[in-house]
Amino acid sequence: MGFSTLELDPLEPGILRLTINRPKALNALSPEVIAELEEAVAAIAADAALRVLLVTGAGEKAFVAGADIAAMSQMTPLEGREFSNRALAVFRSLELLPIPVIALVNGYALGGGCELAMACDWIIASDKAQFGQPEVNLGICPGFGGTQRLTRLVGRARALELVCTGRQVKAEEAYALGLVNHVVPAADLLAKGLEQARLIAAKGPVAVKYAKHLVQRGQDLDLDNACQLEADVFGLLCATEDKAEGMRAFLEKRPAKFSGR
């Protein structure tokens, strides 16, 4: 697919990298980037061969340094609301992809960049990464889901502190807060992402898909209903070819060859 602000690179069978490619603008999220992300995520959702998506930013300075301030400065209230709604919809569609989505944060992840990273399933950060929701410095609040996803990840009090002060946190503090899963040297970021992607790609794809669904859906249910949903999905997976192959391979002490059926 031809994009002017994104790159889609198949790294290995089943593993795709999506790169926000505006390094001169620190990969800022302009309306054009959001529109192209919408198109890219729809194409990724339709590709049954994919197992893992890695999301990163071009260059060494930034994952995404925020939304495009020059573009936002000219928006009317209605245009600002539409921009926010469109970004929210795109990030939600990214979050709901049926495959794991891992953010590889290589530098600044601020404002919309932090929100994009949080819309991924988890974050691997370079030791040079920095995170923050500095929108209050511009007289606005987060508009791409930051107040909601950050609260769910780090808790109400910590999220309020970060949002209301606009303070940036380095990778190690982000890890301590629970925002980041892993911190690695900058040179090892892609290797760590591929290591995890390969582990996932070797598992039963139907099982991975529904495990992700259970974690996401269960957050919105009480414990009894969430556990019943898990039991229902567990039973359904017992009807798959992957279940038969996985258990047969275990008993035969050999690697499983999953078909995704």
User: Which pLDDT score is estimated for 2?
Assistant: 83
DSSP state of 148: H
* CA atoms of 233 and 225, how far apart (whole Å): 12
| 261 residues of the chain, pLDDT tens digit each | 689 999 999 999 999 999 999 999 999 999 999 999 999 999 999 999 999 999 999 998 999 998 888 888 889 999 999 999 999 999 999 999 999 999 999 999 999 999 999 999 999 999 999 999 999 999 999 999 999 999 999 999 999 999 999 999 999 999 999 999 999 999 999 999 999 999 999 999 999 999 999 999 999 999 999 999 999 999 999 999 999 999 999 999 999 999 999
Domain housing 221: 205-251
In the residue annotation, 95 being an active-site residue is answered as no
CATH number of domain containing 66: 3.90.226.10
pTM of the model: 0.94
What is the number of domains present in the chain?
2
User: Which pLDDT score is estimated for 71?
Assistant: 86
In the residue annotation, 115 being an active-site residue is answered as yes
User: Which pLDDT score is estimated for 43?
Assistant: 96
Choosing from 7, 38, 115, 241, the catalytic residue is 115
User: Which pLDDT score is estimated for 186?
Assistant: 97
In a domain, 190, yes or no: yes
Distance of CA 188 to the CA centre of its chain: 19
In a domain, 256, yes or no: no
CATH number of domain containing 218: 1.10.12.10
Choosing from 135, 161, 173, 241, the catalytic residue is 135
Instruction: Return the closest-CA partner of residue 127 out of 174, 197, 168, 184.
Output: 184
* 122 lies in the same domain as 230: no
* 197 lies in the same domain as 214: no
SS3 40: helix
* 216 lies in the same domain as 128: no
Instruction: Return the closest-CA partner of residue 34 out of 71, 76, 73, 78.
Output: 71
Size of the chain, expressed as the number of residues it contains? 261
User: Which pLDDT score is estimated for 1?
Assistant: 64
**To 10 degrees, what angle do helices 146-154 and 156-165 make?**
140
In a domain, 260, yes or no: no
* 88 lies in the same domain as 211: no
